[in-house]
């Protein structure tokens, strides 16, 4: 392995544990969201041939509920849990009940979170659907297109000097000081774990869909041999471990930007490692320097390896996906970039089983996409 690929010394094997019974609670809630439908599982035959793989699929999160990212499935369930927690009530089973509960919140209740783009936009979208105010904290210098997309949902945007992790700390501090703030963070810290755990639970819908779609496409139920998942704070990667590795025999590998590879460095060290900013990768949704504490125990035992990729590799991956008819932003292409590095290093699934790459977003910054893919 190269210095950019780290095997996880604490990995405990492809069948880590029997999966917990799936009650269907989260899936039923998602199905009740207005306009909800599964995202496509797209086969990439030319990319597979070029990488020496038998079958390669991308779970293309190009659009979820009108948003160009996977984040809303986590945010929706977490907002639902946060409203129930604030009202000291049971968790609404359907979105209509969530909307009714939101009308019972005290006047001035404001959904808040920190983001480097997609999670904040998702929270803002849900706030608009529920008729709630919204305040989103962003690292200063975030792409204007991403800021505009959040503001278009009716949220106020608060720039914070420093990297994403500083925006997280500011959002948490303001929520402690103002009881009207209802924090819906996708990362965690000591004493704040319930809502980030709900985000992870929401992400499970992505991988349930992918397994069912693979079985339909192949008429087999063997599952994926390898999944490459972009990692920011590690929340969606921990969901991949729970739904693809535990009891299903899939190797999960994470992909991150060089210079913001907190998951890779933490796995290599066997402890949480902070990667200081500034984090300036074009993979904006992955510019995170600290792993979520909720995600960490799952990542440490369940991620097989972690790879760091360059911006140039992400650009190449965007063009490769475009050639297969898949339009993706840089963060969404990180998994393909990581897979290319793994292929170069000889890390391929034994037996040539199906490979999954999570494409976490569609085109979130049209100007940047045109300049990279069209030229």
d(CA 369, CA 362): 10
Residue 11, CA atoms < 13 Å, CB-side half-sphere: 23
d(CA 360, CA 99): 27
| Distance spanning both ends of the chain, measured CA to CA | 33
Helices marked H in the chain — which ranges? 25-31, 45-51, 71-87, 95-102, 118-130, 144-152, 164-177, 194-218, 235-240, 262-269, 296-302, 311-323, 330-345, 366-369
Among 4, 19, 11, 20, which Cα is nearest to 303's? 11
pLDDT less than 50: residues of the chain = none
List the Cα angle 340/343/348 in 5-degree steps.
130
Residue 122, CA atoms < 13 Å, CB-side half-sphere: 29
Q: Are 163 and 51 in contact (CB under 8 A)?
A: no
pLDDT value at residue 320: 97
**In the structure encoding, which two tokens stand for residue 252, read together?**
């999960």
Across 243-294, the runs of DSSP E, i.e. the strands, are: 251-257
**In the structure encoding, which two tokens stand for residue 246, read together?**
């535990």
- pLDDT, tens digit, 9 for 90 and up, residues 282-296: 999 999 999 999 999
pLDDT value at residue 375: 77
pLDDT value at residue 217: 87
DSSP 230: E
Candidates 3.40.50.1100, 3.50.50.60, 3.90.400.10, 3.40.190.10; CATH matching 5-69+204-374: 3.40.50.1100
Cα 123 to the center of its chain, rounded Å: 14
pLDDT value at residue 248: 82
Q: Is beta strand 41-43 parallel, antiparallel or unpaired with respect to 5-7? A: unpaired
d(CA 338, CA 348): 12
Q: What are phi and psi of 103, to 5 degrees?
A: -70, -15
pLDDT value at residue 348: 72
Among 144, 146, 148, 151, which Cα is nearest to 127's? 151
d(CA 252, CA 356): 9
pLDDT value at residue 277: 87
Alpha-carbon distance values, 100 to 92, 111, 237 (Å): 9, 16, 32
Domain 71-195 has CATH 3.40.50.720: no
Domain with CATH 3.40.50.1100 in the chain: 5-69+204-374, 71-195
Q: How many CB atoms lie within 10 A of CB 213?
A: 18
Helix or strand run (H / E) with residue 303: strand 303-309
């Amino acid at each position: 392995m190269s210095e950019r690929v780290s095997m996880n010394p604490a990995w405990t094997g492809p069948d880590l544990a029997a999966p917990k019974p799936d009650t269907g609670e989260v899936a039923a809630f998602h199905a009740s969201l207005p306009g909800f439908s599964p995202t496509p599982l797209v086969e990439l035959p030319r990319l597979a041939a070029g990488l020496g793989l038998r079958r390669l699929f991308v779970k293309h999160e190009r659009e979820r509920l009108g948003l160009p990212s996977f984040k809303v499935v986590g945010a929706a369930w977490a907002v639902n849990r946060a409203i129930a927690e604030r009202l000291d009530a049971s968790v609404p089973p359907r979105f209509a009940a969530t909307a009714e509960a939101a009308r019972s919140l005290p006047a001035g209740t404001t959904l808040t979170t920190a983001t480097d783009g997609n999670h904040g936009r998702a929270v803002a979208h849900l706030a608009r659907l529920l008729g709630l105010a919204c305040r989103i904290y962003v690292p200063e210098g975030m792409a204007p297109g991403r800021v505009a997309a959040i503001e278009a949902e009716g949220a106020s945007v608060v720039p914070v000097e420093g990297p994403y992790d500083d925006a997280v700390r500011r959002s948490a501090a303001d929520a402690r000081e103002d009881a009207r703030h209802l924090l819906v963070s996708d990362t965690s810290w000591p004493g704040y774990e319930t809502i980030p755990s709900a985000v992870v639970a929401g992400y499970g819908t992505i991988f349930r869909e992918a397994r069912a779609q693979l079985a339909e496409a192949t008429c087999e139920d063997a599952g994926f041999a390898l999944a490459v998942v972009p990692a920011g704070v590690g929340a969606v990667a921990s969901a991949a471990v729970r739904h693809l590795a535990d009891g299903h025999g899939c190797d999960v590998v994470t992909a991150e930007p060089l210079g913001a590879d907190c998951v890779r460095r933490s796995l290599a060290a066997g402890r949480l490692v902070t990667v200081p900013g500034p984090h300036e990768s074009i993979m904006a949704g992955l510019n995170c320097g600290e792993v979520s504490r909720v995600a960490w125990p799952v990542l440490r035992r369940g991620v097989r390896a972690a790879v760091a990729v360059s911006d140039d590799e992400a650009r190449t991956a965007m063009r490769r996906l475009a050639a297969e008819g898949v339009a993706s932003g840089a963060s969404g292409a990180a998994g393909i970039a990581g897979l290319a590095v793994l292929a170069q290093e000889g890390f391929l699934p034994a037996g040539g089983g199906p490979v999954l790459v999570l494409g976490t977003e569609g085109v979130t910054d049209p100007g940047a996409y045109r300049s990279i893919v069209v030229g």
